[in-house]
Amino acid sequence: MKLVRYAEADLPTVHGPFRLFVYHEAADKNGASPCQEHMAIVRGPVQGKGHVLTRVHSECWTSEVMGSLKCDCREQFHVALEKIAAEGAGVLVYLRQEGRGIGLGNKIRAYALQASGADTVEANLALGFEADERSYDIAGAILRDLGVLSVRLMTNNPLKVKGLEDAGVTVVDRVSHWVGENQHNAGYLAVKRHKMGHHPDAHGPDASDPLLVLRSVPKSGKG
């Protein structure tokens, strides 16, 4: 997989100035190119730097646009930008992987199953997907293009750390990124903690923990 840096420009935001980089996947041999566009939101100097404060964030239209209270994605996005702005340098890689990689339509189908009593993992499996379908190869390619040597990763998900390391990213530290909960997302966050191994502290179990559901559930065929 090869990415092309397609566009970049400065962007004033409520969190201060950032530089926005937009990436396209390279066209295939027939000249076709996927329509998905991924981004890096950058503050300060990061090229050739190590220990860069970094968030790898997957798109969540329902939360970030509609203000859904079913998850904590919008809050995680804005808190990450606040932390980067406070530090004066850092990267937020924004991946178009809605619904942990199953897409918006299937995410809404999963919501319907959740309304009938399934949790987020059970709903994905019932639709024929893995509990988490995301890949971090694109994030790795973006960080390499930006010249980032190593990252301090804002995440509660040890499997995201492993995914980035598998994509060639040196993760020197995992920075806790818990943003609190409400009555609508408390169950969702409990599943993150107890079934997917997410931890609010920086020293929770690592991705080799055999109790993590993503390593213990049988793989399902894609629906």
By annotation, the residues acting in catalysis are: 132, 134
CB 102 within 8 A of CB 109: no
What is the distance between the alpha carbons of residues 149 and 165, in angstroms, rounded to a whole number? 12
Distance of CA 101 to the CA centre of its chain: 10
Phi-psi region of 173 (alpha: psi -120 to 50; beta: other; left: phi over 0): beta
Question: Which is nearest to 188 in space by CA: 136, 132, 119, 125?
Answer: 119
